[in-house]
């Protein structure tokens, strides 16, 4: 099986310090980048699938030219190769541009499955993966808690998380599957993996290579723009309650009543 | 009808209108009033009648589109295709939908098919300079932004619990509408629907969430979380640590790789409140924490923190709440 995992380098949420530049775009140099946490679950799922069924994993990113550093971490987990789409025209790309560019990049790759994370910790729109599926005409199976391909039958089954349980979905491959944390914790790269990642193939391509016209992708073609931003109002100072359980409980009950929750 | 504002009505598991859609419709109506534009609701489902009737309590005109394929196939890409075809014919100005899993999936498909942009996870919206201005909370609540579309048309997804649903003064009309044409995107079969014991309403919609973390100590400890949630009429939430330990389902996880919630009350039990969790709940209206450690990160942003043993404090709290409601 050939599996492509969409991997996005995002500002490290734990480092803090994310900010917008004067142009209203995310300043990606302000904060160190990490692999988007939800994408790590997708990558882990892909690695388990190729262990079980054979095959290879390719990671694909649309990101600034500094991305290889972050992508190497994903390669160190066990992906065989990476493709980075980077271009001076792409900063400020909207979700639609991103879907078009990634769809364009996928056209040149062979795969049985494309796996993506549920959303990203920076943009968080959750609309790019369904957009890619629609652009490529791929079956779209989202919010997977389990992925069971049948390579011989050429189909894939997915347990999709639903409010009251799950739905079992089935579609022919190739297909695009959106992954969740329920698939299992991502592995830590081994020292051997880190060494191997250094020599793994990482191809860089530009917007023109994806076949998406410049007028349809990138900052100039963005369908949305940030027009203002402000820090949220600070939360009021915390009240600290100590004392007996009964006293503390009384304080909490009073607070809930005051806030009209009870 | 060209230039109208459309609100997308999602159906819930019972075939009625999803709660998020009542909030979406209320926000859509405020935008239409401010802009002086028509407001239209659209429900696309195998049996759209009940949801369309409910949506008509909020908007003056609802199009009910019968689409048999959604009965036993994943709905979002079917609904997205039908809505895209209808939008190409009727040329609305804006499509507003929910930012839950169904709304996101549908919005992504719709955006790709129409070539319209998406402003995602709106926390509020207004109308200015001839277009919508959409507020969002980004970077896990560290920054609030306002955004606009660069073109004439677009799609907005609305975060659950940021709008208080209010019916219109007068109920609207439901019209049956048809959309012709073949479904071009591949169908994804639903071969089974499995209900899990203890599964509840979507946690994003809960007004009260009682959440447990590592401090609950195990699945047994989570019974206490459930008891308090039941007493307060709320839902159970959890941290990643609790989910990874297998104490509770992933569907209840709040935080960076789980759900983002905005309840009236967030009661955090045995949760230290590190950044990965904080990003999922810090916009809750009130935050109450019970924790042994007065220096836990959550002490910096809770309204109230009880420093103590939750296995003593929570039973005391339960007893007082029960006495109060008796």
Tens digits of residue pLDDT in B267-316:
999 999 999 999 999 989 999 999 999 999 999 999 999 999 999 999 99
pLDDT of the residue at B240: 94
Q: Does residue A46 sit at the B interface (CB-CB below 8 Å)?
A: no
Chain B residue closest in CA terms to A184: B244
Of the pLDDT bands very low, low, confident and very high (cuts 50, 70, 90), residue A26 is confident
For chain A, the average pLDDT equals: 95
pLDDT of residue A24: 87
Q: What is the pLDDT of residue B199?
A: 54
For A183-226, write each residue's pLDDT tens digit: 999 999 999 999 999 999 999 999 999 999 999 999 999 999 99
- Torsion angle in degrees (nearest 10) through CA of A13, A94, A127, A170: -110
Percentage of chain B beyond pLDDT 70 is 98
Domains of chain A: 2-221 (3.40.50.620)
Average pLDDT score over residue span B169-197? 93
Q: A-chain residues within 8 Å CB-CB of B99?
A: 126
- Of A169, A249, A261, nearest to B316 by CB-CB distance is A249
Chain B, residues 10-39, CB within 8 A of chain A, namely 12-13
Instruction: Choose between B205 and A62: higher pLDDT.
Output: A62
List of chain A residues whose C-beta atoms are within 8 Å of the C-beta of residue B278? none
* Predicted local distance difference test score (pLDDT) of residue A195: 95
Q: How far is B230 from chain A (nearest CA, A)?
A: 13
Q: What is the pLDDT of residue B200?
A: 60
For domain B203-325, which CATH number applies: 3.40.50.1220, 3.30.930.10, 1.10.1200.10, 3.40.1550.10? 3.40.50.1220
Whether A153 contacts chain B with CB within 8 A:
no
B117 chain-A contacts, CB cut-off 8 A? 94-96, 222-224
Q: How far is CA B142 from CA A14, A233, B124, B161, B173, in A?
A: 12, 10, 16, 19, 42
Nearest chain A residue to B255 by CA: give it: A121
The residue of chain A with its CA nearest to that of B190 is: A169
| Model ipTM over 0.85 | yes
- By C-alpha distance, the chain A residue nearest B287 is A238
- Assigned CATH topology for domain B5-177: Rossmann fold (3.40.50)
Domain extents in chain B = 5-177, 203-325
Q: Other C-beta atoms within 10 Å of B211: how many?
A: 32
A46-69 pLDDT tens trace: 999 999 999 999 999 999 999 999
DSSP label at B297? Answer: G
The closest of A247, A82, A95 to B147, measured between CA atoms, is A95
Cβ atoms of A115 and A48 closer than 8 Å: no
Instruction: Find the helix packing angle between B75-90 and A128-136, rounded to 10°.
Output: 80
What pLDDT is recorded for position B74?
A: 97
> Over 90: is that where the pLDDT of B227 sits?
yes
Per-residue pLDDT, B197: 64
């Amino acid at each position: 099986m050939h599996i492509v995992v969409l991997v996005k380098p995002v500002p490290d949420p734990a480092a803090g310090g994310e900010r917008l530049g004067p142009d209203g775009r995310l300043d990606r140099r302000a904060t160190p980048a990490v692999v988007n946490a939800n994408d790590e679950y997708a990558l882990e799922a892909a690695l388990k699938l190729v262990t079980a069924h054979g095959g290879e994993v390719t990671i694909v990113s649309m990101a600034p030219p500094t991305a290889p550093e972050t992508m190497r971490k994903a390669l160190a987990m066990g992906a065989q190769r990476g493709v980075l789409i980077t271009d001076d025209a792409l900063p400020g790309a909207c979700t639609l541009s991103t879907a078009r560019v990634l769809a364009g990049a996928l056209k040149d790759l062979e795969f049985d499955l494309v796996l993506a994370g549920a959303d990203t910790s920076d943009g968080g729109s959750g609309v790019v993966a369904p957009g890619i599926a629609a652009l490529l005409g791929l079956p779209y199976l989202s919010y997977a808690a389990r992925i069971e391909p049948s390579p011989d039958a050429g189909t894939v089954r997915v347990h999709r998380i639903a409010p009251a349980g799950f739905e079992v979905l089935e579609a022919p491959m190739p297909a695009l599957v959106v992954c969740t944390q329920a698939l299992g914790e991502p592995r830590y790269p081994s020292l051997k993996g880190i060494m191997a990642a250094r020599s793994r193939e990482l191809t860089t391509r530009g917007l023109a290579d994806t076949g998406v016209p410049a007028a349809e992708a990138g900052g100039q073609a963005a369908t949305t723009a940030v027009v203002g931003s402000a820090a949220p109002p600070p939360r009021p100072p915390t009240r600290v309650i100590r004392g007996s359980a009964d006293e503390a409980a009384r304080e909490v009950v009073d607070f809930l009543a005051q806030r009209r929750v009870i | 009808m060209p230039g109208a504002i459309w609100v997308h009505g999602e159906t819930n598991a019972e075939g009625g209108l999803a709660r998020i859609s009542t909030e979406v419709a209320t926000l859509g109506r405020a935008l239409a009033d401010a802009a002086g534009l028509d407001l239209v609701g659209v429900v696309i489902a195998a049996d759209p009648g009940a949801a369309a009737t409910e949506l008509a309590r909020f908007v003056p005109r609802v199009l009910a589109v019968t689409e048999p394929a959604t009965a036993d196939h994943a709905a979002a890409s079917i609904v997205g295709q039908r809505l895209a075809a209808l939008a190409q014919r009727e040329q609305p100005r804006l499509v507003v939908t929910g930012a839950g899993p169904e709304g996101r999936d549908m919005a992504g498909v719709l955006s790709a098919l129409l070539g319209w942009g998406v402003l995602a996870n709106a926390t509020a919206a207004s109308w200015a300079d001839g277009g919508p201005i959409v507020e969002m909370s980004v970077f896990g609540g560290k920054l609030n932004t306002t955004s606009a579309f660069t073109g004439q048309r677009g799609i907005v997804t609305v975060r659950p619990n940021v709008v208080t649903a209010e019916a219109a003064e007068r109920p609207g009309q439901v019209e049956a509408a048809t959309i012709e044409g073949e479904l071009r995107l591949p169908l994804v079969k639903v071969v089974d629907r499995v209900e899990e014991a203890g599964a509840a309403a979507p946690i994003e919609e809960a007004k009260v969430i009682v959440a447990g973390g590592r401090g609950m100590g195990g699945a047994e400890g989570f019974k206490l979380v459930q008891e308090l949630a039941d007493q307060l009429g709320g839902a159970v939430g959890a941290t990643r640590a609790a989910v990874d330990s297998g104490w509770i389902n992933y569907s209840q996880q709040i935080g960076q790789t789980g759900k983002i919630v905005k309840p009236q009350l967030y009661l955090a039990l045995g949760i230290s409140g590190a950044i990965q969790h904080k990003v999922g709940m810090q916009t809750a209206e009130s935050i109450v924490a019970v924790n042994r450690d007065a220096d836990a990160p959550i002490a910096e942003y809770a309204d109230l923190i009880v420093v103590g043993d939750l296995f003593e404090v929570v039973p005391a709290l339960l007893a007082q709440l029960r006495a109060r409601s008796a």
